Chains A and B, each alone.
Chain A
Amino acid sequence: MTTLVIDYGMGNLASVRRALEECGSDVIVSKDADDIEDANAIILPGVGAFSEGMQRLHDMGWGKALTKAVLEEKTPILGICLGMQLLADWGYEHNKTKGLGYIAGEVVKLELQNTRIPHIGWNEVSYKEENLLLEHISNGTDFYFVHSYHFIPQNQEAILGTTTHGFEFVSIVQNNNIFGTQFHPEKSSKNGFVLLRNFLKFSESC
């Protein structure tokens, strides 16, 4: 079982790698899009701005490689934070930018009154139905968030979990083999590890 962590120069990769290793996976952290061939599972991490993230994915050749692996070969992928947002069709951070388009929807700024932005800290994730990603995790468990933008999926079926910060926003998305969490499972201590193990278990079964 080998998990590829995509290194496109956006954010904290060491934590993701360590967390996956703790969960029992072999991990490749790579800048080289050819490495996607060997991956049983893909993690798209990321901290930063949407437009910069997409630019880097394209410049490094990840755009095409990802689309082939994820859409054609159905390799499981988990996008984390910015990585989740990049799964959308469009992002509006700094300027309107085309995303990977794996889950229909767009990413917009959290616009709130009387609530502080960025949304930083531990907050509850609620889900309506059972899902393999959430096995052994109680509904309402706290995960660690740090973001100013949020994903609005076009289809309700893509919504797996929601969180409230001033209003209810989408914190977990899914479309078949494609998953995304707005929070950071690799920084969410024990429950974050349970979620990562669930993702790895699913990937192994594919």
Chain B
Amino acid sequence: MLKTRIIPTLLWKDLGLVKGVAFDSWRRLGTVLPAIKVYNSRDVDELVLFDIIASEENTRPDFDIIEDLAMECFVPFTVGGGIRTLEDVRTLLSVGADKIVINTAAFDSPQLISQIAERFGSQCIVLSIDAKRHSNGDYECYRYCGKEKTGKGVLDWAKEMENAGAGEILLTSIDNDGTMNGYDLELIKMVTQELSIPVIASGGAGNYQDLADAVLLGGAEAIAAASIFHFTEQTPQAAKLYLKEKGVSVRFS
């Protein structure tokens, strides 16, 4: 049986590892490489790395550094930030990324997703959606790390990208991100009910029950979390023991 993945997310800015609250006020958190080594030695299910600078400043991914990081990672390694072209994807996959995450570029050129799917397969494309809830309850997609509105509704965009060939959706609540107050279950449920590709819940986990809720109530296939693992004593391994108690199928190495 397929296991629910617990995925620590690393945000990388100027070679430091950072974590913000509601997509702002980045805090330095040491460097990326030691974090990857630790997570690798703890045998986590997968790691996601975001190059925030590349995404915000519209620069290319730093392939050399990503290669150095990938060399230390023997679990699935998913990389995002600054990916614009098919050639970017090819290079990232060749330096050690297993999957790539795209957000902003998909709005600029929606055909990029179908091109990547055709060339490298849907399974390596994670479409990232940063969702903000409006007062009327609608959710809108944002890009450039939550800095710019897109005018696209979350569910419409998710369906459009599934049809274009995205293999997974990484669904982040901008409002809940970094608050550690729990995932936006309404958002997650809205997308998981309508799509047939896996959805990774992101943004807001503060304790193990939040993780369980994202799976059991939200219907998420996987859980991405940063603050809970970086700023508290809580660990992916202990999270899995808790999830198992709650009846969620998880992997123990």
- In chain A between 117 and 132, which residues have their CB closer than 8 angstroms to a CB of chain B? 117-124
Point out which of B76, B94, B98, B121 has the most chain A C-beta atoms below 10 A from its C-beta: B121
A142 on the interface (CB 8 Å rule)? yes
A136 on the interface (CB 8 Å rule)? no
A47/B197 in contact, CB under 8 A: no
B197/A118 in contact, CB under 8 A: yes
Which B residues are CB-close (under 8 A) to A64? none
How many angstroms from the CA of A14 to the CA of B76 in the assembled complex? 12
Main secondary structure of the interface of A (DSSP, over half): mixed
A15-B98, A18-B96 known; A122-B120 Cβ under 8 A: no
B10 on the interface (CB 8 Å rule)? no
How many angstroms from the CA of A120 to the CA of B67 in the assembled complex? 23
A96 on the interface (CB 8 Å rule)? no
Which A residues are CB-close (under 8 A) to B45? 121-122
B98/A116 in contact, CB under 8 A: no
Total chain B interface residues with beta-carbon distance under 8 A: 41
B120 in complex: contacting residue of A14, A48, A193, CB < 8 Å: A48
Which A residues are CB-close (under 8 A) to B75? 144, 187, 189
A14 in complex: contacting residue of B67, B90, B123, B251, CB < 8 Å: B67
Which one of B1-9, B11-19, B135-143, B203-211 is at the interface?
B1-9
A122-B251, A146-B99 known; A164-B1 Cβ under 8 A: yes
A14-B70, A15-B70, A193-B74 known; A94-B118 Cβ under 8 A: yes
Question: What are 5 A-B contacts with C-beta separation under 8 Å?
Answer: A11-B93, A118-B122, A120-B167, A121-B45, A142-B3
Given contacts A121-B221, A146-B167, A148-B122, 18 further A-B contacts (CB under 8 A): A11-B93, A12-B96, A12-B98, A14-B70, A14-B96, A18-B74, A47-B120, A47-B121, A47-B123, A48-B124, A49-B120, A52-B119, A118-B198, A120-B167, A123-B1, A144-B75, A144-B76, A187-B75
